[in-house]
Amino acid sequence: MKFLFCIIALLSITFLLVAPVSAYDFTLSVYGNANMDDIIDEEDVTYLKGIISGVNEKTQFADANYDNIINEADISQIESIISGDPVILTLVDNQGMTGKVNTPVKSNANLFLGSVRPVVQLNSIDSIVGIGTTSGLANKLIFKAHPELKDIPEVGTGQEPNQEAILSVNPDVIYGGFFTSKEIAQALSQNTRIPFVYAAPKEVASFDKDDGAYETWRFVGLLQGNDDLKRAEELIEYSNEKIKAIEDITSQVPENEKPKVYFACYASPTMTSTYYQPIDIAGGINVAKDLPVGTSGWGGIDVSKEQIIEWNPDVILVHAGTKEDDGKHGSIDGILHDPALQSVNAVKNERVYGTKGWDTGWDSATGLCECYYLAKLFYPDLFTDLNVEKECNEILEEFYGVSGLYDWMVENCGSYVTWR
């Protein structure tokens, strides 16, 4: 994810880039990333020396100090970044604009719960001085884990930020998510003279893809400083280990024996998503994976019931669903008793379940739990020894530092965390 940096004033930050524990497919959009991988380290110094000597080709981010000259000063800049010295970084945003930032960010105001989560998961809850309006969000897991968040001053929403409230808490940076338009972000930054950063997973519910959780942790870690960046790498390693434990089993299942899965987005039983990575990790095949990405948010795309019948999924997942119809979301019973869907295998075999999906943004912690939950749903015979509740309680404790959170979710957050 290339975050949007609306830079009006320079911040003062320091950070240390450490070697990654895993490789994933995105390019760190920071000048100094000379070899165009996802980290700034001694390999960038070596590559830059090769550019200066004429052996290597110039790359987009080789001009580390962004002065339009590739020379020894750029080597010094990279070495300062590696050492954790205070430096002015130059970054490219997701709109192709360039901004300069000094590090570390000591305080932040958040307009969206999706940007609060990575800050909390990186153990930097004390840096949050402003939070988006929390009314109606009492059942969100993060508030159960950290009720002190409810005492932080509210600063509006992503669509309607409260400039006066933001100025009153005087943050170093404003964190937001995809609900905040580029126009709102730019106006907010201009009026408050505080930089705005998109700091939440964007439009895909994924771990290791572009715009996913890993990239978010690393970027927020870069902004917040050394300890946060180290914690980001720890979370990436932890998540990879948990995912590998499932994929070591599900990857052995032949492709033609994997369950076909239809993901019904919460807006409508006939709205689906082309991508939800826990389905893939758990060994399912998303029947909508080849559709063009929709424009209605988070990859949502409308389909007909005739298309669902043609796909004939073995499993139907109802995003944020309830067993009975609550008037807002698709219901499990509604799908099971829909006359038009009685020929679908998932309905005939009563394999229609709730799933958390994204709920006020993509929570990578509960997303990791979903991988275990779905693996047990898809392959009960392969995961007979898997205790989902125990595993997920441990996962959520790792991310949020509080025990028993999954048990609380089962009791308080609807049928999407239980199976029939």
CATH number of the domain where residue 277 is located? 3.40.50.1980
- Is the confidence at residue 368, as pLDDT, over 90? yes
- Is the confidence at residue 292, as pLDDT, over 90? no
Mean of all residue pLDDT scores within the chain: 84
Q: Are residues 269 and 349 in the same domain?
A: yes
Read off the pLDDT of each residue in 332-353 and give the average, rounded to a whole number. Answer: 93
Position 151 in a domain:
yes
What is the pLDDT at residue 285? 98
Position 388 in a domain:
yes
Position 40 in a domain:
no
- Is the confidence at residue 179, as pLDDT, over 60? yes
Position 74 in a domain:
no
- Tell me which of 354 and 281 has the higher pLDDT: 281
User: What confidence category does residue 321 fall into, taking pLDDT thresholds of 50, 70 and 90?
Assistant: low
Q: Which of 236, 251, 266 is the last residue of a domain?
A: 251
- Is the confidence at residue 268, as pLDDT, over 80? no
Read off the pLDDT of each residue in 43-71 and give the average, rounded to a whole number. Answer: 96
- Is the confidence at residue 123, as pLDDT, over 50? yes
- Tell me which of 233 and 23 has the higher pLDDT: 233
Q: Are residues 229 and 257 in the same domain?
A: no
- Is the confidence at residue 301, as pLDDT, over 60? yes
Q: Are residues 174 and 152 in the same domain?
A: yes
Position 38 in a domain:
no
- Is the confidence at residue 119, as pLDDT, over 80? yes
CB atoms within 10 A of CB 329: 22
Position 387 in a domain:
yes
Read off the pLDDT of each residue in 199-225 and give the average, rounded to a whole number. Answer: 80
Q: Are residues 298 and 310 in the same domain?
A: yes
Q: Are residues 138 and 219 in the same domain?
A: yes
- Tell me which of 292 and 367 has the higher pLDDT: 367
| Domains contained in the chain, number | 2
> Do the bridges between strand 271-273 and strand 300-302 make them parallel or antiparallel, or are there none, so unpaired?
antiparallel
Read off the pLDDT of each residue in 141-157 and give the average, rounded to a whole number. Answer: 93
Look up the domain containing 394 and give its range. 253-417
Q: Are residues 317 and 266 in the same domain?
A: yes
Q: Are residues 340 and 368 in the same domain?
A: yes
What is the pLDDT at residue 178? 74
Whole-prediction pTM: 0.86
Q: Are residues 290 and 207 in the same domain?
A: no
Q: Are residues 231 and 110 in the same domain?
A: yes
- Is the confidence at residue 96, as pLDDT, over 70? no
Position 77 in a domain:
no
Tokens of 272: 């689906």
What is the pLDDT at residue 139? 64
Q: Which of 251, 266, 299 is the last residue of a domain?
A: 251
What is the pLDDT at residue 204? 63
Q: Are residues 273 and 228 in the same domain?
A: no
User: What confidence category does residue 299 fall into, taking pLDDT thresholds of 50, 70 and 90?
Assistant: low
Q: Are residues 203 and 288 in the same domain?
A: no
Rounded distance between C-alpha atoms, residue 236 and residue 218, angstroms: 9
- Tell me which of 199 and 407 has the higher pLDDT: 407
Position 64 in a domain:
no
Q: Are 174 and 193 in contact (CB under 8 A)?
A: no
Q: In whole angstroms, how far apart are CA 88 and each of 28, 71, 341? A: 16, 17, 58
Place of tokens 């499932």: 246
Read off the pLDDT of each residue in 82-109 and give the average, rounded to a whole number. Answer: 74
What is the pLDDT at residue 15? 32
Q: Are residues 98 and 237 in the same domain?
A: yes
Q: Which of 202, 220, 251 is the last residue of a domain?
A: 251
Burial 243-270 (b: 16+ CB within 10 A, else e): beebbebbeeeeeeebbbbbbbbbbebb
Highest mean pLDDT among 27-36, 54-63, 129-138, 268-277: 54-63
